[in-house]
Structure 1
Amino acid sequence: MELTLPLFRRAVQSLDGDGLSVQGLVTSLNTDTPWQLALPAQGVFGFTGPSGGGKSTLLAALAGLRGCTGKIGFGNVTWQSGKSGLATHRRDLSLGFQDSSLFGGQTVADNLALAHRYSRRPLSPEERAELIECFGITPLLRQPVELLSGGEAQRVAVLRQLFSNAAVQLYDEPLAAVDRLQVIRKLLPRLRDFWARHPALVIWTSHDFDEIQLLATQCLWMERGALTGPLPLREVTRRLQLDSLERESCFSRLEARVLCQEEGLLTLSLGDATLYADRVAGRYRAGQSIAFLLGSGDIGLCLEQPGLSSILNCLPVELREIVPLEGGRVRLRLAAGEQEFSADISRLSRERLQLREGERYYAQFKASSLAGL
């Protein structure tokens, strides 16, 4: 799987620098709104906003692939100063696009081998094999990249970036063509685990806010060439609230602490309540803080705490808001301590239960409803 190509081998850069600094960055897209950005050397940040706002342009400028002026630096290395920029291959980064941009005329194995060969933080053979298996790439290794489907090519492209394991990793809609259930239940938990063991500065660009909720705790927002952030996920959630109301259901991010994991069942603590999750793809340790998604259509509400049931999870909640939806349904904004999430029920159920804002109830949901673990 080794290739010999005329690429430059760069010196290893420490991740213990000042992080990413962007000052007065201007492209042809944002002449009136220069970009300012300061991010730490480690952490996963979401990046979203309306289409055409300039997200891809910013990523390309950071990578040295788009003409720009201003200052860009990472750690103690200047990437851009005025109109002069460090060549892309000398920046300690990787950039993945939605169209994958795999090296043509090569097999999948060749593409992965090239990333590993020139990685400054190479992964062990065991970890590379585990990633290949998790991403479902094993049967594709000897396949020419031209024969891959869109989803297969995207999985290979993300895997190639992980093999490169750069200090700064930029992703631009990297899994848009991959089956969403596979992304939520299998790939995102594995990515989160990877970056926990191999810290880097990751900017994950996606229009699927559920991906961002699972991977990040803060988010950048780009609209009409104006960049803001990093922002707390709750603030971005409010910006997207109108869009979520138009969908049949939405996912909310919750955080809990791991109590134990055994026989495929994960036991969690959320405040004083105990929750259970099955069909878990990740590996977790006791005491670890983790995030998961809960679908608004997977939740039922009870006036009193129910007795023994095959539905394992029952969470005491406060009803903070009732929002009418189309199609005879309402969306409930529920709070468990300081954390909020949504539940969708019928208007008939609301009337029968005589639900009132400010009152306390019990939210029930199956162990299989906790997504992204």
Structure 2
Amino acid sequence: MTRKLSPLTIVVNLTVLILVAAWTLPTAGLLISSLRDKDQIVASGWWTALSSSTRNEIYRAPGPETQAQENGVYVIKGNVFEGGPGAVSAFGATSQEPAAFAAGATADIRDGHKLTVEENGDFRLESPTAFEGSRGQRIFFTAETPPRFTLENYQTVMTAEGIGQSFINSLTVAIPSTIIPILVAAFAAYALAWMKFPGRSILIAVIVGLLVVPLQMSLIPLLKMYNDVGTFFGVPAKGYVGIWLAHMGFGLPLAIYLLRNYIAGLPREIMESARVDGASDFEIFIKIVLPLSYPALASFAIFQFLWTWNDLLVAMVFLGTGNDELVLTGRLVNLLGSRGGNWEILTASAFITIIVPLLVFFGLQRYLVRGLLAGSVKGG
């Protein structure tokens, strides 16, 4: 017997489908755009990738120095696509009438000059007298270009100067900036969950309050403090140690909050049995709490790695903007140029930057939901 779905179930399923589509479609569009020809990315949207695109263009014919004499007339030949793919549907010789003539027709333009543009882009300029001037004739044409997919966009990004060093810099920043906060937060979370000491509740409240402190408010004061400490010890504040400590400070409130809630929800009987057997707090933490806390640790590791890998602001402030210090996001921003109009580089860069986070996510995703749910609802 077929089970009838309730209206609430149908609404929930439809909502999930809409949310999945809302997240998936932009990603699919970005992937398709990254594989398209750079001219077609600008001319049309990704949803037209499988259809021919129509565009209006201007081509400057070669100058008089390329003319040749044939049967008593002077001729300049060429191809408006310069050997590339495309089909001309109409052409013209002035901006007022850019599509005045159909492809294959011969147009009288001026002073006895004639212009013919074929569908494949071949053109022929004729004149009874020699062409003069320093610049060639402008040819306006409407072209239909077939869809073209290429890996040139990825090749441009991957072969850019300094991209390899920036990739290594990002790994050097992200890996320690993920491991260090997890280690510190795990010890702190265990102490706040199972060790009794004065002021514990106040400390927990302060940590929760730090979750809402904007990152931008603390950047300059923190950098000034690092500079003062570095001057005192004779060590420059800017460097990998500085950015590791900065990311540790920014990530600790969330890490301690999640891990403390998770660890506080562990069975009390296990802790008491271990203490009866003479185990110290350090032994309980290392041998019991850490192995049981893998889901929560993996959940925070995913978020922290994503944050540090994609970070640009903190890296520029605490690491610098020199060629040897730039992280991957900074290098790609420079590659885009000051105007940021190179869409083909932007789309390819987006997928290059998410390769490593995707590997981390799929490697730890089985722990993600379990750890987040446990850390969100359990408390002690």
Give the structure-2-normalised TM-score. 0.19
Larger radius of gyration: 2
Higher strand residue share: 1
Q: Return the TM-score normalized by structure 1.
A: 0.19
Question: Relative contact order: is structure 1 or structure 2 higher (C-alpha 8 Å, sep ≥ 6)?
Answer: 2
